Amino acid sequence: MPRTRAATLTALALSALLLSACGASVRPQDDTPQPQGYPVTVTNCGRELTFDRAPERVVAYDSGIVETVFALGLTDRLAGYVMAASKNNDIEGSPWKAEYERAPRLGVDRISKESILEAGADFVYAGWNYGFSEDRGLTPAHLDELGVRSYVLSESCRNGVGTTSRGTMPPLEALYTDLRNLGRIFGVPERAERLVAEYQEVVRQAEASVPADRPRPRVFLYDSGTDKPFTGGKYAASNEIITRGGGDDVMSGVLDSWTTVTWESVVEANPDVIVINDYDVPSAEDKIRFLETYPPLAQVPAVKNGRFLVLPYAALVQGPRNPAAIRTVADYLNGL
């Protein structure tokens, strides 16, 4: 999509940054009548957010977040998205590929204040470690100073275990919470409820397909890492994708969403199956090759028996592909 207002918006961005440095608010005054159904107030990561009207220009970061915007039918409100080049496969295999093609891609690295302001955004949907970072000076508080509202991905809400641990609710509850909250914020609550009901039915059918008397295979989610593995803990979407699909997530005791563990803990857990998080480099094939040749894992059943299930990144982080991923896991485990 061409940006005919680039010069004007750049000037506005510089003005906004200068004003914020002086502690001034840049949120414009709006005297138009309040739309029907507003104001609405939602709770997000412990904060109450009140909206007098639906945001009109959204910037979103990362595939699960962007696809939530698409699923809610809000493509026309998407001023742009930022997604790392390593997630290009998510776009190619997405049920919303046509929507991606309609929306402007603002960058292939990290989201920034500059890209947000240049897009003329009035709302940012991102998360902690999904775009928001104190180290880079991009947080909901920083955006508030610039007059830009924001919403934090519920999977990434900080839980007080240490300084950066994330996750405060079961992953599917986080997905449904965000769908309902965003549905209210954008004035599409009925669509949000239809999506929740649809996803709940997919999950119900997947769970019903799992034989009640079948032992639950132990499953480890491998994202990346050679010295130490990066994986999903109790509050990552991968946890319920595994458990609702009939498996036993061996990292359920880790009180975080996405984090690093030790190879010793993986060996001790002795998984029967390893789920591979597939995105760009290294490829899923390279990850499997590493696991098959890493000596400490040689006697782990998943490796000995070649039981690797590859799923795309967008299916394993919080987003609208989660329910279908549960069905995929259930079908795979049922076939063992």
Per-residue pLDDT band for 32 (boundaries 50, 70, 90) equals: low
Express each pLDDT in 21-31 by its tens digit.
Answer: 333 334 444 56
Map residue 93 onto helix, strand or coil.
Answer: coil
pLDDT of residue 26: 43
Percent of the chain with pLDDT over 70: 90
pLDDT of residue 31: 61
pLDDT of residue 79: 98
CB-count burial class (<10 Å; 0-12, 13-18, 19+) for 158: middle
Per-residue pLDDT band for 19 (boundaries 50, 70, 90) equals: very low
Between CA 128 and CA 154 the distance in angstroms is 9
Alpha helices in the chain (DSSP H): 6-21, 63-71, 88-92, 97-102, 113-118, 140-145, 171-185, 189-208, 237-244, 263-269, 284-293, 301-304, 313-316, 322-334
Between CA 116 and CA 51 the distance in angstroms is 19
Instruction: Provide the whole-model pTM.
Output: 0.88
Structure tokens at 196: 């929740």
pLDDT of residue 30: 52
Least confident of 14-23, 30-39, 52-61, 275-284: 14-23
Q: How wide is the angle at C-alpha 335 spanned by C-alphas 333 and 336, nearest 5°?
A: 70
Position with higher pLDDT, 23 vs 67: 67
How many helices (H) and strands (E) the chain has is answered by 14, 14
Least confident of 2-16, 105-119, 265-279: 2-16
Which residues fall within 8 angstroms of residue 157, CB to CB, at 6 or more apart? 44, 45, 46, 128, 166, 167, 168, 169, 174
One-letter amino acid of 277:
N
User: Using CA of residue 164, residue 165, residue 171, residue 176, what is the dihedral sign?
Assistant: negative
Which residues fall within 8 angstroms of residue 315, CB to CB, at 6 or more apart? 241, 321, 322, 324, 325, 328
The Cβ of residue 289 has, within 10 Å, a number of other Cβ atoms equal to 12
Between CA 332 and CA 335 the distance in angstroms is 5
The partner residues of 310 in beta bridges, in order of sequence, read 276
